[in-house]
């Protein structure tokens, strides 16, 4: 992949003043002089790009550029592209930086290297059945969920008996009772029979819904036989596509007369929803039990331990322990004797020794309980350790969520009271936005919670951003109304762990190798896509490694707990992988005014480890990407469709999307998904325009190429080329 930066100097960026020992880029050889001098010879292109950007090169830097152009592999154009990339970023060139950026731009993508590394390590990505069922139901793919339930083997005779019971039973209660009796006779868990019966019933209802919808599409095709949208939907229906998605596409994308089919389409949708509900209703609850967020308080032993550490009066500490933990009466008496002799520290230590065993047992009693089948892919030797660690962390996450909720509600209440004075309210709203964004991206409770909670928090953050704009305009009433709405939204949010996320966290805790840690991060993003899971994949790939290591050292920690990069680079072809990753980090270096980033990430595609390239372009707001005004380009290489590019451009939260692929009929195949995509983006606060489809650009000589602009301006942006 070649990436050709064409970035203009960022607004407000000035050339640094020359210092002693530096010169204006042309000191690579004696016959190179400044271009501005009268009669001077023209600068070489590789040095001129630095002068154009106002970068003053040292003699060593100029020599490094000259050596790179003479000795580095690749064409002159490739090498000049690398030099331009450093100039655009304002990076002083060196042998190492030139080599790293050149590897990132022209070498094997880092994500592909990591994917091959996982394949060579024998890493598989087994799909947890319950996670697959939940995911299929979430997407409206009832037949996939039914197929996953039916994949659990049962004797043929038992399946026939279940069919007979479904026909004979008059009510759900009668059926459940009969199934439990059959389970006892066959020595099979009743849960399996109930789930299978629900799947069979859902399949029958779904078949009726499919027939209704098929009749409606057939009727429309008789009226408009050449309509490509209807043909595509008929094909999707024949291939067992999601009925909800097909109905949505009919309602939003089909422009013909739908009057004659309104009733059958509505009936089909109602039946499809019934089938989905029947499938979900037959599923056994996950078994994850957590204390309610609002009622989660430290146990009595924990409160006693806190008092020992912080309460100045030893008499109060001893009295509290004696009253709340009568089994420690002897320990309290020994501690009081030590305190009476002037040894208060020893007395507190004596109390702590007596309380510690009670803290451990209390935390185990209050910890969440998880069913054993969640750990189907965890090594047997690790199950006990994982159970203890995960449940304790989940309980702590509930406490963390409660604290977060208390803090954000306090901020919102203050902002609501100060809304009439925008200058005072604005910093409070800013604090609330930062608290929310940090919770979404870095809060540990987000590793466990479900997608609805994450979506609700994202909506709250976006609404507060609107309130901030209104305060800046002086519209205090509208801002106060939004803050009040957000407060009500946050108040309703509760901490609900997701089965799939708990499974992945369990696997991550049990991962004994860096390969499994990276694979776990990839699987987590694949099964439960979200902001935190995406961030965890970026961390696992090593993009934040140096920053987190330095932060950990400043805090006195030996190393970052999930320091995958160090082991990953040591295990892989360390020189090539490290150089490539370092190059990408340099290409993502913060800039003034405009910010461009590039990442090559390992990604799960069709159950296999593959590579996705991500390019980001935005305004730089305090070294953060401006999510309301940015451009993102994703580039996938798929086996069935070839190269697929997706460009998402956000301007003041208005989205435009373009999907690119060179295969014929690509738009017809993807059009039914466009409406679903638009709805999901709208759910998190974006206003989505039309979704455009197109082929990749072609080279002038007729050869295929993949090109897309990541910015609206041709003079400022990236030109991505495969």
- CATH of residue 430's domain is 1.20.120.660
Q: How far apart are CA 131 and CA 283, in angstroms?
A: 12
pTM of the model: 0.67
Q: What is the pLDDT of residues 481-532, one digit of tens each?
A: 898 888 888 888 888 777 667 776 776 776 667 777 788 888 888 877 778 8
Cβ distance 232 to 672 under 8 Å?
A: yes
Are 176 and 264 in a shared domain?
Answer: yes
Confidence of residue 83 (pLDDT cuts 50, 70, 90): very high
Examine the domain organization and report whether 391 and 452 are in the same domain.
Answer: yes
- pLDDT, position 16: 35
Instruction: Out of 326, 343, 367, pick the residue that ends a domain.
Output: 367
User: Residue 89 pLDDT > 70, yes or no?
Assistant: yes
204 within a domain of the structure (yes/no): yes
The structure tokens 């759910």 sit at 683
Does 259 share its domain with 216? yes
Question: Cα separation of 626 and 624, whole Å?
Answer: 6
* Confidence tier at 26 by pLDDT (50, 70, 90): very low
**Residue 481: exposed, middle, or buried by beta-carbon count in 10 A (0-12, 13-18, 19+)?**
middle
**pLDDT for 128:** 67
Average pLDDT of the segment spanning 689-697: 84
H helices within 443-563, ranges in order? 451-473, 476-492, 499-510, 514-527, 531-541, 545-554
Give the mean pLDDT of the chain.
Answer: 78
* Token digits of residue 340: 């009476």
In a domain, 418, yes or no: yes
CA-closest candidate to residue 601, choices 529, 541, 527, 520: 541
Give me the pLDDT at residue 263, please.
86
Range of the domain at 256: 129-282
pLDDT above 70 (res 663): yes
The answer as to whether 565 is a domain residue is no
More confident residue, 429 or 38: 429
359 and 477, same domain (yes or no): no
Residue 712 has pLDDT above 50, yes or no: no
What does the alpha-carbon distance between residue 527 and residue 128 come to, in Å, rounded to a whole number? 10
Most confident of 36-45, 55-64, 372-381, 701-710: 55-64
Calpha distance 355→307 (Å, rounded): 12
Q: Retrieve residue 645's tokens.
A: 């590019």
In a 10 Å sphere around its CB, with 0-12 CB exposed, 13-18 middle and 19+ buried, how is residue 254 labelled?
middle
- Residues 399, 499 within the same domain: yes
Beta bridge partners of 693: 659
Decide: 113 and 78 in contact? Cβ < 8 Å: no
Q: Name which residue leads in pLDDT, 386 or 33.
A: 386
Let me know if residue 625 belongs to a domain: no
Residues 351 and 407 in one domain: no
Look at 294 and 442; give whichever has higher pLDDT.
Answer: 442
Same domain, 394 and 500: yes
Up-side HSE of residue 714: CA atoms within 13 Å toward CB? 1
Q: How far apart are CA 491 and CA 76, in angstroms?
A: 60
| 386 and 348 within one domain | no
Query: What six digits make up the tokens of 393?
Result: 């962390």
d(CA 99, CA 91): 13
Inter-CA distances, 421 with 378, 411, 416, 432, 480, Å: 56, 15, 10, 17, 11
Contacts of 625 (CB under 8 A, 6+ apart): 595, 597, 616, 618
Residue reference for tokens 């050869």 = 703
Does residue 387 fall inside a structural domain?
yes
Determine the straight-line distance between the first and last CA of the chain, rounded to whole angstroms. 5
With 80 as the cut, is the pLDDT of residue 674 above it? no
pLDDT tens digits, residue range 156-179?
888 889 988 888 877 778 888 888
Among 1, 182, 6, 158, smallest CA distance to 617 is for 6
On whether residue 634 sits in a domain, the answer given is no
Cα-atom radius of gyration of the chain, to the nearest Å? Answer: 31
* Domain end call among 495, 510, 525: 510
pLDDT of residue 390 exceeding 60, the answer is yes
List the single range of 171-185, 397-411, 670-684 with lowest mean pLDDT: 670-684
Distance CA 238, CA 91 (A): 56
Beta-strand relationship, 594-605 and 687-694:
unpaired
Mean pLDDT to the nearest integer, 654-659: 88
Pair 94, 168 in one domain: no
Task: Give yes or no: residues 138 and 273 share one domain.
Answer: yes
Which pLDDT does position 313 carry in this prediction? 80
561 within domain boundaries: no
Pick the more confident residue, 682 or 18.
Answer: 682
Q: What is the mean pLDDT of residues 46-64?
A: 89
Q: What are the pLDDT digits (tens) for 215-225?
A: 999 988 888 88
Cα(456)–Cα(442) distance, integer angstroms = 16
In this structure, of 350-354, 358-362, 535-539, 651-655, the range with the lowest mean pLDDT score is: 358-362
DSSP 8-state class, residue 379: -
The rounded percent of the chain whose pLDDT value lies above 90 is: 9
What is the bridge-based pairing of β-strands 654-660 and 687-694? parallel
194-206: string of b/e by CB count within 10 Å (b at 16+)?
A: bbbbbbbbbbebb
Q: 19 in the Ramachandran plot: left (φ > 0), alpha (ψ -120 to 50) or beta?
A: beta
Domain membership of residue 92 (yes or no) is yes
Least confident of 24-38, 320-334, 639-653: 24-38
Q: Where are the alpha helices (DSSP H) in 91-155?
A: 95-106, 110-120, 129-138, 142-150
State the Cα–Cα distance between residues 383 and 306, nearest whole angstrom: 31
Of 110-119, 169-178, 363-372, the least confident:
363-372
Instruction: Report how far residue 142's alpha carbon sits from residue 200's, in angstroms, rounded to the nearest whole number.
Output: 11
Closest CA to 271 of 259, 283, 282, 279: 279
Residues 27 and 91 in one domain: yes
Query: DSSP labels for 246-310?
Result: HHHHHHHT--S--GGGHHHHHHHHHHHHHHHHHHHHHSPP---B---GGG----HHHHHHHHHHH
Q: Are both 230 and 159 inside the same structural domain?
A: yes
Work out how many domains the chain is built from and give that number.
4
Rounded CA separation 410/428 (Å): 10
Identify the sign of the CA torsion 242, 245, 249, 250.
positive
Share of the chain above pLDDT 70, in %: 79
Domain edge (last residue) among 510, 537, 570? 510
Whether the Cβ atoms of residue 303 and residue 321 lie closer than 8 Å to each other? no
Q: Per-residue pLDDT for 118 more than 60?
A: yes
Give the containing element (helix H, strand E) for 58: strand 57-58
Task: Give the dihedral of Cα atoms 372, 374, 378, 384; nearest 10 deg.
Answer: -40
| Residues 454 and 446 sit within 8 Å (Cβ to Cβ) | yes
Cβ atoms within 10 A of the Cβ of 1, count? Answer: 18
């Amino acid at each position: 992949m070649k990436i050709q930066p064409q970035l203009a100097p960022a607004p407000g960026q000035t050339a640094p003043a020359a210092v002693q020992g530096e010169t204006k880029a042309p000191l690579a050889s004696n016959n190179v002089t400044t271009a501005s001098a009268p009669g001077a010879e023209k600068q070489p292109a590789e040095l001129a790009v630095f002068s154009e950007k106002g970068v003053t090169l040292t003699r060593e830097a100029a020599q490094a550029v000259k050596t790179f152009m003479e000795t580095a592999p690749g064409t002159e154009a490739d090498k000049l592209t690398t030099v331009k990339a450093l100039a655009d970023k304002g990076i002083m060139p060196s042998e190492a930086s030139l080599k790293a950026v050149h590897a990132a731009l022209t070498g094997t993508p880092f994500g592909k290297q990591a994917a091959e590394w996982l394949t060579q390590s024998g890493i598989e990505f087994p799909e947890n059945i319950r996670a697959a069922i939940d995911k299929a139901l979430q997407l409206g793919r009832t037949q996939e969920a039914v197929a996953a339930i039916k994949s659990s083997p049962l004797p043929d005779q038992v399946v026939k008996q279940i069919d007979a019971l479904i026909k004979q039973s008059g009510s759900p209660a009668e059926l459940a009772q009969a199934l439990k009796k059959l389970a006892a006779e066959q020595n099979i868990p009743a849960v399996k029979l109930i789930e299978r019966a629900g799947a069979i019933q859902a399949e029958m209802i779904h078949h009726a819904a499919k027939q209704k919808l098929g009749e409606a599409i057939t009727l429309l095709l008789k009226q408009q036989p050449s309509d490509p949208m209807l043909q595509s939907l008929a094909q999707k229906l024949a291939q067992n596509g999601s009925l909800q998605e097909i109905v949505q596409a009919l309602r939003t994308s089909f422009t013909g007369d739908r009057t004659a089919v309104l009733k059958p389409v509505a009936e089909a949708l109602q039946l499809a929803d019934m089938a989905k509900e029947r499938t979900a209703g037959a599923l056994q609850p996950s078994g994850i039990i957590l204390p309610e967020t609002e009622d989660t308080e430290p146990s009595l032993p924990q409160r006693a331990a806190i008092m020992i550490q912080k309460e100045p009066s030893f008499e109060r500490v001893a009295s509290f322990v004696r009253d709340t933990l009568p089994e420690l009466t002897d320990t309290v008496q020994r501690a009081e004797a030590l305190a009476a002799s002037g040894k208060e520290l020893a007395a507190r230590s004596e109390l702590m020794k007596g309380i510690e065993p009670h803290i451990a047992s209390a935390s185990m009693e209050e910890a969440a309980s998880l069913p054993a089948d969640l750990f189907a892919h965890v090594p047997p030797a690790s199950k006990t350790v994982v159970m203890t660690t995960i449940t304790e962390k989940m309980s702590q996450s509930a406490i963390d969520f409660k604290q977060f909720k208390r803090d954000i509600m306090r901020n919102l209440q203050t902002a609501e009271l100060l809304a009439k004075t925008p200058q005072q309210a604005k910093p409070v709203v800013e604090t609330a936005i930062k608290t929310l964004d940090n919770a979404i991206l870095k809060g540990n409770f987000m590793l466990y919670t479900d997608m609805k909670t994450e979506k609700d928090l994202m909506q709250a953050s976006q609404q507060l951003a609107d309130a901030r704009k209104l305060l800046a305009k002086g519209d205090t009433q509208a801002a106060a109304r939004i803050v009040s709405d957000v407060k009500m939204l946050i108040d309703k949010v509760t901490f609900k762990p997701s089965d799939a996320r708990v499974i992945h966290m369990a696997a991550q805790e049990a991962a004994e190798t860096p390969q499994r840690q990276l694979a776990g991060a990839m699987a987590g993003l694949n099964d439960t896509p979200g902001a935190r899971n995406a961030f965890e994949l970026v961390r696992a790939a090593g993009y934040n490694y140096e920053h987190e290591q330095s932060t950990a050292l400043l805090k006195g920690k030996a190393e970052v707990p999930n320091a995958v990069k160090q082991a990953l680079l040591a295990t892989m072809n360390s020189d090539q992988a490290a150089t490539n990753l370092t190059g990408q980090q340099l290409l993502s270096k913060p800039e003034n005014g405009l910010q461009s980033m590039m990442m090559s990430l390992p990604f799960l595609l069709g159950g296999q480890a593959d590579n996705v390239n991500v390019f980001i372009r935005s305004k730089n707001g305090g070294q953060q990407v401006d999510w309301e005004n940015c451009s993102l380009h994703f580039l996938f290489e798929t086996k069935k469709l070839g190269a697929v590019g997706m460009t998402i451009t956000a301007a003041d939260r208005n989205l435009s999307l373009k999907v690119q692929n060179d295969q014929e009929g690509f738009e017809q195949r993807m059009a039914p998904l466009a409406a679903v995509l638009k709805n999901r983006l709208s759910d998190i606060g974006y206003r989505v325009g039309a979704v455009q489809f197109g082929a990749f650009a072609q080279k002038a000589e007729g050869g295929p190429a993949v090109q897309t602009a990541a910015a609206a301006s041709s003079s400022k942006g990236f030109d991505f080329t495969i």
